[in-house]
Chain A
């Protein structure tokens, strides 16, 4: 029988939740790596027992943990992330040049086809690749060195590469996103990159339509439509249907279009989910009501989903890596909050339950649909 494994990264450890295909009862294990910041935990689509976890702390730096038994046991693997050649500078918050410095891994993206290949998105923004299961890492430096790097600037959370999307139809095409630089695409497996930010408009940079400088919070894609991407930008929900060559705004009737997460239904490529957050200075839901918004038309028209979610006095945030979906017949949707709840819907968002609560602040949520 199929099942679901939810991988939760928090400020003070990782948690793993297991359920059968009904998704009614959940077994919670953890904390794994107690006390450490776990920015991201993600399983391989090739080998469901292989899981990578980004373990870091301000005191003791970055570790990479790998499990080959579905999260029961873990082994530290390679934690050397050396920038290729001269690291150079990017812009600091005040606009002055600032040296590139490795801080942490924000995101792991295991290969869709090779069990030992995994990509890592790091702060300060760069992309690394391992082809030996995380033992060694090499920078795909064509991204950082393609020319606009010195203009990149950190967002409030740091200058992080937080999103990596692999094109299921073309293994050499990869999309990534950086706060606050924008979205980028490679068509040759990571050798060369180009900014894909045409159509974005950001009032917080001197030229609102600049080639780079946009604070992209998250990208999402349905595998059946690799040229269509959805974006939650700092403000604005956007979509492209030409692989990022041009973007249009699809915020439509959202009550606020600030937010962090965005994801796409597993079986309906035009069904999209966001969690609107009040503003860039007030990182909580409008009016204390936690609501997921769903569009069944690829944007513009959105419906609030609130059944089972707190509708009073709720002032949590939902961070950019903290929403995921499963691929069961009735698509499951999951998200975690900075208040330590993980909410799940087993009916594509119509109703929600907290499958665990009172964890440390949730940084990331990933789901594995188990066979």
Chain B
């Protein structure tokens, strides 16, 4: 199972506390993880990536293993520690304002 940490507004929307765990088909990529998250929590469709273009929303970032993966290809394999469930994929709302 892949661990995913959602930002607070999306946890509230999805009615979950803490991180979520989803089964992801191989290879474990951003796209496949988000496919699985949206399948389990359909109310999140359109909030992390555009429903038409599938592009990451501009103020959403993806971090894992202390790296910013936001600009990686959505089809690039995620780090092994994420794929093994050792580390979570962090979905983060970019900091804005004061």
Binding site for B on A (CB under 8 A): 34-36, 57-63, 76, 79-80, 82
* A interface SS class: loop
Q: Can you sample 20 A-B contacts with CB below 8 Å?
A: A35-B9, A35-B12, A57-B9, A59-B7, A59-B9, A59-B59, A59-B60, A59-B93, A59-B96, A60-B9, A60-B13, A60-B60, A61-B47, A63-B13, A76-B13, A76-B43, A79-B45, A79-B46, A80-B46, A80-B52
Q: Which residue of B lies closest to A83 (CB)?
A: B52
Tell me if B10 counts as interface (CB < 8 A to partner A).
yes
**Known interface pairs A59-B9, A60-B60; 7 further A-B residue pairs with C-beta atoms within 8 A, sorted by A's residue number:** A35-B12, A36-B9, A59-B7, A59-B96, A60-B7, A76-B13, A80-B51
Decide: A63 and B9 in contact? CB cutoff 8 A: no
For A61, the chain B residues whose CB sits under 8 A away are 46-47, 50, 57
Find out whether the CB atom of A60 lies under 8 angstroms from the CB atom of B51: no
Asked if B43 and A63 sit within 8 Å, CB to CB, the answer is: yes
Q: Does B94 contact A (CB under 8 A)?
A: yes
* Chain B positions 12-50 with a Cβ under 8 Å from a chain A Cβ: 12-13, 43, 45-48, 50
B10 to chain A: closest residue by CB: A60
Bound complex: CA of A314 vs CA of B40, how far in Å?
A: 49
Residues of A within 8 A of B43 (CB): 63, 76
**Which residue of chain A has its CB nearest to the CB of B14?**
A76
Most buried by B among A61, A63, A76, A79: A61
Query: Which B residues lie at the A interface, using CB under 8 A?
Result: 7-10, 12-13, 43, 45-48, 50-52, 57, 59-60, 93-94, 96
User: In the docked arrangement, what's the CA distance between A279 and B47, Å?
Assistant: 37
Inter-chain CA distance A58–B8, complex, in Å, is 15
Are B51 and A59 in touch, CB under 8 angstroms?
A: no
Contacts of A80 in B (CB 8 A): 46, 51-52
Among residues of A, the one whose C-beta sits closest to the C-beta of B47 is A60
What chain A residues lie within 8 Å of B50 (beta carbons)? 61
- What's the nearest-Cβ distance from chain A to residue B44, in Å? 9
Q: Which residues of A contact B96 (CB under 8 A)?
A: 58-59
A144 and B96 alpha carbons, distance in the complex (Å): 33
Cβ of B57 to closest chain A Cβ, rounded Å: 6
Sort A-B residue pairs by CB-CB distance and give the 5 closest, nearest first: A60-B47, A76-B43, A59-B93, A59-B59, A79-B46
Chain B residues positioned under 8 Å from A60 (CB to CB): 7, 9-10, 13, 47-48, 57, 60, 93
